[in-house]
């Protein structure tokens, strides 16, 4: 295994250079090299979604994406998630309003999956939510509240878009 | 875990008491009155205030001169909401806004020992129950001292000084002093024992206050055990024997040692430690280590032969844990008789945050950061392992990514301490999901023979339940009992008492309440009733799993009562109702759930209902499940849940706990089992130990019974009724009785048989 010299990529808008083995999963680079511990390790096999972040806007499971594939691209983590006008993302506010988290361990991943979905489908149906959010496990069983919080955030985003026009 | 004495058998607490009691006279020191441990001596309090300006009237509350109110939470926050509910109790009596309180997590200290378990643990759905009186009293005492301080400072009557929103107000003069201004005077006063506020005076308690930890858990800033970083820390992973209990015989690790960042590969008690600068480097290097294992005692263990073993043991008479009337005679005279077998599998906890611990053993002592439900037990264990004096062992708590009982065991702490002791550096040990799944303390697998009889009028007249199960306390009693002993006791004496206590469970001198809970205290009025317990120990590690014995036994009892209802040709709800006349709280939740679910009303075509009720942890819960089965595929559409948990601290948290317990219980009922082949756990990750996911999520409705009773547990009681409610609905839908879990594999078997 060779240490690659300087993989460069963007995290939450800032350029970062890391020196790690090119096969190191993005998850562990975020957590260990960059100290971004909001992204969690749950399974290491793309089965639970705890490690979900955005890579060029797409939700990905960072536990199975080697850092070499991230070179030159842009990553967003829960720490860098913001709403359309800056500040906390409407999903984060909805998560608090609906009291979604229990232990909270899965919730960064849940929010990142939901945020990527809303970017593509601003008003998701229950079926859309089933299709996308079924990739994220919550052992504490907060699914019902996650669904409600997504609808709430989507509604609020739609209302504020309406306010713009 | 059992919290209160059950009606007929003794609770776990009583078992522990009796086991401790029979082991010698050394226990007197344990029976301190609950509050004394939490109080702080008056002189200490005054001196502390003089030094720091802080008012610290007890072990939980601290008010600083600059008006910060700090509450030390001595029960862990693992999702169940202690951070919010306990802070609400303090806020109510202290007359402050709960949002203004800073919550700190307590480290392990004997003054935070649990009133019933005699050590610092969070479990058994007891956190609110246990804090309810002492914590509110502590906050009320602080409030009264601040009022008195103000009245002294202003030379006015105390009755004119009112506590309001973090300040004392003298109404007649309009004078006002923030708590922070009064700390030094208050600290000179005697700690009173004031009256608590009446429910009609509550402003905070009983409201659906938002969770205080929700913001940090929604923006990635919440720090869990796995996120701990300590200066100079290295990372380690442990290669474990594929058979639990196995030990390394030979290691070939040259290739691993040559990997970048790797600083050590060496055998430890339970495997091979690989140490590196980062987790990922340790994990990658571990893949290159070759180990020859001595597989140990479980080497040939196999689920299919174990089932036969259990069935064989079920032919013996067990220990009578409940017996009244004459079951044999009643069965002989019954118009309809049933004899059936129920089985439940081993289950893993699979907390979302895998086991992990950070430890630093140095010349100065041992410091540990652990997501642990039992920091008191961790401290005890470290003392035994390292010979470090108690006072030099510091156990910090962290937020916990799910506990469910798994983190009552301290194996992950022991491992990290062991590794740190060898490398003399701070080390974080993180388990892989596979490590976690395959090295758990599993919910016991059980085997149950049920016999029942119904007379010609359709009344149940006989019930017999022979339960074959493993004793959790037979395995862990040793560590637990020794940790319960006071610190002044010599270590050898502690260990001896622990061992003798544990032996009593194994030899059935004592019955492990966790094995029979939920089976013994059947509330149904059946005249001839017998419950027998056969303890069987195969050596598979077992532990507390959300609702413990209730999780197994409610499925068995609530399914079999349903069988008797059908055998009697009666409606399952009405049948139960008639037998619960003397159990008003069971009846209350049963009727509420049935009413809210529209029991007896028409359902959409293809949808069927099942009902179940169960008491656990002194709370009562009933559920109605609506399901459909199409081409062998089960879907749960809706669950209506009624719960009676006494007075409610925060109804939204109660609802959330019911929702969570139902999902946890559904995952188990539908999908989960831990099986063994050749001693190896066959499941490894979420693909073969599956969880309910969003698309399978039923609509859950929770209804809380209004009550004036003291609060009782909510973390676990929502779980036991769900498996039988669903299984009973499947019977209604298909005529097929589920007598073995998980349901999805049972339905698949039925499909094959057809
Ligand atoms: S940790 Fe990446 S999907 Fe589970
Ligand atoms: S909140 Fe605990 S796993 Fe989702």
Position B18 scores a pLDDT of: 32
Q: How far is B607 from chain A (nearest CA, A)?
A: 20
Ligand 2 site, residue A70, Cβ cutoff 6 A: no
Whether the per-residue pLDDT at B508 is higher than 70: the answer is no
Ligand 1 site, residue A43, Cβ cutoff 6 A: yes
Position B514 scores a pLDDT of: 86
User: Which token pair is B430?
Assistant: 């993180």
Residue A16: pLDDT band with limits 50, 70, 90: very high
Whether the per-residue pLDDT at B431 is higher than 50: the answer is yes
b/e per residue B497-520 (b: at least 16 CB within 10 A): bbbbbbebbbeeebbbbbbbbbbb
Could you identify the residue written with the tokens 């048989």?
B753
Residue of B nearest to A40 (CA): B353
- Ligand nearest to C-alpha A40: 1
**CB distance B286 to B240 below 8 Å:** no
Nearest residue, CB atoms, A143 vs list B215, B218, B663: B663
Percent of chain B with pLDDT over 90: 77
Q: How far is B398 from chain A (nearest CA, A)?
A: 12
Rounded Cα distance between B685 and B188, Å, is 58
Rounded Cα distance between B499 and B597, Å, is 50
Whether the per-residue pLDDT at B682 is higher than 80: the answer is yes
Position B21 scores a pLDDT of: 29
Residue B102: pLDDT band with limits 50, 70, 90: very high
Whether the per-residue pLDDT at B284 is higher than 90: the answer is yes
Helix segments in B615-706, DSSP class H: 651-671
Q: Does domain A7-80 have CATH number 3.10.20.30?
A: yes
Give the residue among B590, B640, B593 at the shortest CA–CA distance from B615: B590
**CB distance B446 to B467 below 8 Å:** yes
Q: Tell which CATH architecture fits domain A90-160.
A: Orthogonal Bundle (1.10)
**Do the chains contact at A78 and B220, CB–CB below 8 Å?**
yes
Ligand 1 site, residue A105, Cβ cutoff 6 A: no
* Strand, helix or coil for residue B752: helix
Residue B112: pLDDT band with limits 50, 70, 90: confident
Q: Which chain A residues are within 8 Å of B639, Cβ to Cβ? A: none
Sketch out chain B's domains with CATH numbers: 12-201 (3.30.365.10), 225-244+247-294+355-430 (3.30.365.10), 304-347+443-471+508-749 (3.30.365.10)
Helix (H) or strand (E) run with residue A144 in it: helix A143-164
Query: CB pairs below 8 Å between A and B: how many?
Result: 180
Ligand 2 site, residue A105, Cβ cutoff 6 A: yes
How many CA atoms does the CB half-sphere of B390 hold within 13 Å? Answer: 14
Percent of chain A with pLDDT over 70: 95
Ligand 1 site, residue A137, Cβ cutoff 6 A: no
**Prediction pTM value:** 0.92
Could you identify the residue written with the tokens 């390292």?
B386
- Ligand nearest to C-alpha B691: 2
Position B14 scores a pLDDT of: 35
Q: What is the dihedral of CA B507, B485, B356, A144, to 10 degrees?
A: 80
Helix B82-94 with B127-154: angle, nearest 10 deg: 30
Q: Which chain A residues are within 8 Å of B213, Cβ to Cβ? A: 101, 104
Give the residue among B226, B439, B471, B271 at the shortest CA–CA distance from B348: B439
Whether the per-residue pLDDT at B132 is higher than 60: the answer is yes
**CB distance A134 to B694 below 8 Å:** yes
Residue B124: pLDDT band with limits 50, 70, 90: confident
Whether the per-residue pLDDT at B194 is higher than 60: the answer is yes
Rounded Cα distance between A91 and B690, Å, is 27
Rounded Cα distance between B337 and B462, Å, is 9
**Do the chains contact at A99 and B210, CB–CB below 8 Å?**
yes
The residue whose CA has the least distance to atom 4 of ligand 2 is A138
Residue of A nearest to B715 (CA): A140
Rounded Cα distance between B610 and B738, Å, is 12
Helix (H) or strand (E) run with residue B13 in it: helix B12-22
Mean pLDDT of chain B: 90
Position B191 scores a pLDDT of: 87
Q: How far is B624 from chain A (nearest CA, A)?
A: 17
Q: Taking the domains of chain A in order of start, what are their residue ranges?
A: 7-80, 90-160
B507 CB contacts (<8 Å, ≥6 apart)? none
- Measured CA distances, A127 to A140, A147, B694 (Å): 22, 11, 10
A46 CA closest ligand 1 atom index: 3
Nearest residue, CB atoms, B353 vs list A81, A105, A141: A105
Mean pLDDT of B77-86: 91
Rounded Cα distance between B200 and B81, Å, is 24
pLDDT tens for B558-580 read 999 999 999 999 999 999 999 99
B75-84, B357-366, B421-430, range with the lowest pLDDT: B75-84
pLDDT tens for B607-622 read 999 999 999 999 999 9
Whether the per-residue pLDDT at B650 is higher than 70: the answer is yes
How many CA atoms does the CB half-sphere of B92 hold within 13 Å? Answer: 27
Beta strands in chain A (DSSP E): 7-11, 14-18, 52-55, 58-61, 74-76
Whether the per-residue pLDDT at B23 is higher than 60: the answer is no
The residue whose CA has the least distance to atom 3 of ligand 1 is A46
pLDDT tens for B435-486 read 999 999 999 999 999 999 999 999 999 999 999 999 988 887 666 666 666 6
Mean pLDDT of B584-613: 98
Residue B752: pLDDT band with limits 50, 70, 90: low
Pocket residue to mutate for ligand 2, from B211, B352, B407, B653, most atoms within 8 A of Cβ: B352
**Do the chains contact at B694 and A147, CB–CB below 8 Å?**
yes
pLDDT tens for B626-635 read 999 998 899 9
């Amino acid at each position: 295994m060779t240490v690659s010299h300087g993989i460069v990529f963007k995290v939450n808008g800032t350029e970062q250079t890391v020196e790690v083995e090119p096969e190191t999963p993005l998850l562990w680079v975020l957590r260990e090299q960059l100290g971004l511990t909001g992204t969690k390790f749950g399974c290491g096999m793309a089965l639970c979604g705890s490690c979900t972040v955005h890579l060029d806007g797409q939700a990905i499971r960072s536990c199975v994406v080697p850092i070499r594939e991230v070179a030159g691209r842009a990553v967003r983590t829960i720490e860098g998630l913001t709403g359309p006008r800056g500040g906390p993302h409407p999903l984060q506010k909805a998560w608090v309003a609906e009291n979604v988290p229990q232990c909270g361990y899965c919730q960064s991943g849940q929010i990142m999956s939901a945020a990527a979905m809303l970017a593509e489908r601003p008003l998701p149906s229950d079926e859309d939510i089933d299709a996308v959010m079924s990739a994220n496990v919550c052992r504490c069983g907060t699914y019902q509240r996650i669904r409600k919080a997504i609808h709430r955030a989507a509604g609020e985003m739609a209302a504020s878009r309406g306010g713009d026009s | 875990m059992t919290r209160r004495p059950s009606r007929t058998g003794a609770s776990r607490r009583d078992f522990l008491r009796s086991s401790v009691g029979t082991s010698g006279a050394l226990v007197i020191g344990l029976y301190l009155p609950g509050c004394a441990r939490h109080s702080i001596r008056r002189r200490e309090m005054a001196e502390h205030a003089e030094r720091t300006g802080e008012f610290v009237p007890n072990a939980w509350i601290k008010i600083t001169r600059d008006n910060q109110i700090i509450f030390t939470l001595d029960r862990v926050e693992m999702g169940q909401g202690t951070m919010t509910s306990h802070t609400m109790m303090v806020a109510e009596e202290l007359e402050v806004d709960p949002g203004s309180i800073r919550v700190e997590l307590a480290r392990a200290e004997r003054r935070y020992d649990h009133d019933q378990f005699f050590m610092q643990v969070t479990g058994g759905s007891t956190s609110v129950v246990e804090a309810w009186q002492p914590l509110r009293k502590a906050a009320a005492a602080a409030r009264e001292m601040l009022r008195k301080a103000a009245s002294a400072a202003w030379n006015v009557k105390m009755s004119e000084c009112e506590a309001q929103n973090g300040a004392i107000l003298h109404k007649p003069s309009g004078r006002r002093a923030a708590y922070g201004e009064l700390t030094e005077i208050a600290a000179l006063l005697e700690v009173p024992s004031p009256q608590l506020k009446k429910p009609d005076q509550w402003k905070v308690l009983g409201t659906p206050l938002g969770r205080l930890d929700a913001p940090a858990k929604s923006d990635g800033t919440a720090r869990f055990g796995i996120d701990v970083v300590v200066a100079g820390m290295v990372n380690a992973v442990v290669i474990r024997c594929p058979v639990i209990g196995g030990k390394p015989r030979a290691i070939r690790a040259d290739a691993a040692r040559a990997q970048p960042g790797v600083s050590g590969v060496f055998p430890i008690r339970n495997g091979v430690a690989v140490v590196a600068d980062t987790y990922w480097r340790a994990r990658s290097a571990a893949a290159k280590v070759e180990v020859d294992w001595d597989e140990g005692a479980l080497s040939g263990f196999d689920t299919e032969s174990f089932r036969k073993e259990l069935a064989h043991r079920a032919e013996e008479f067990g220990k009578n844990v409940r017996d009244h009337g004459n079951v044999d005679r009643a069965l002989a005279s019954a118009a309809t008789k049933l004899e059936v077998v129920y089985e439940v599998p081993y289950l893993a906890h699979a907390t979302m945050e895998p086991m992990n611990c950070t430890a630093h053993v140095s010349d100065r002592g041992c410091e540990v950061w652990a997501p642990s439900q039992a920091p008191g037990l961790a401290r005890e264990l470290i003392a035994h392992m390292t010979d470090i004096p108690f006072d030099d062992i510091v156990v910090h708590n962290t937020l916990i990514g799910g506990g469910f009982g798994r983190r009552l065991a301290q194996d992950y702490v022991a491992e990290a301490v062991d590794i740190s002791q060898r490398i003399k550096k701070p080390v974080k040990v993180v388990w892989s999901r596979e490590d976690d799944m395959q090295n758990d303390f599993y919910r016991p697998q059980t085997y149950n023979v049920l016999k029942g009889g119904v007379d010609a009028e359709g009344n149940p007249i006989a019930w017999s339940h022979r339960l074959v199960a493993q004793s959790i306390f037979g395995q862990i009693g040793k560590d637990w009992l020794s940790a319960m002993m006071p610190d002044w006791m010599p270590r050898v004496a502690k260990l001896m008492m622990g061992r003798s206590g544990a032996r009593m469970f194994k030899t059935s001198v004592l019955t492990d309440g966790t094995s029979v809970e939920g089976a013994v205290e059947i509330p149904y009025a059946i005249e001839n009733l017998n419950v027998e317990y056969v303890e069987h120990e195969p050596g598979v590690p077992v532990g507390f799993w959300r609702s413990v014995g209730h999780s197994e036994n409610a499925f068995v009892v609530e399914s079999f009562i349903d069988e008797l209802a059908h055998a009697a040709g009666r409606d399952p709800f009405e049948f139960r109702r008639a037998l619960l006349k003397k159990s008003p709280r069971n009846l209350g939740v049963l009727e509420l759930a049935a009413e809210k679910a529209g029991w007896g009303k028409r359902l959409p075509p293809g949808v069927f209902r099942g009902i179940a009720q169960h008491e656990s942890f002194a709370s009562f819960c009933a559920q109605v499940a609506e399901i459909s089965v199409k081409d062998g595929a089960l879907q749960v559409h809706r669950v209506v849940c009624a719960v009676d948990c006494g007075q409610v601290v925060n109804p939204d948290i109660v609802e959330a706990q019911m929702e969570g317990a139902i999902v946890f219980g559904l995952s188990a009922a539908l999908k989960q089992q831990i099986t063994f082949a050749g001693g190896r756990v066959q499941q490894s990750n979420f693909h073969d130990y599956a969880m309910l996911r969003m698309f399978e999520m039923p609509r859950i409705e929770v209804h809380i019974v209004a009550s004036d009773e003291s609060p009782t547990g909510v973390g676990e009681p929502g779980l036991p009724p769900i498996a039988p409610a669903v299984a009973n609905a499947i019977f209604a839908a298909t005529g097929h009785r589920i007598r073995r879990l998980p349901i999805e594999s049972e339905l698949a078997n039925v499909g094959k048989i057809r």
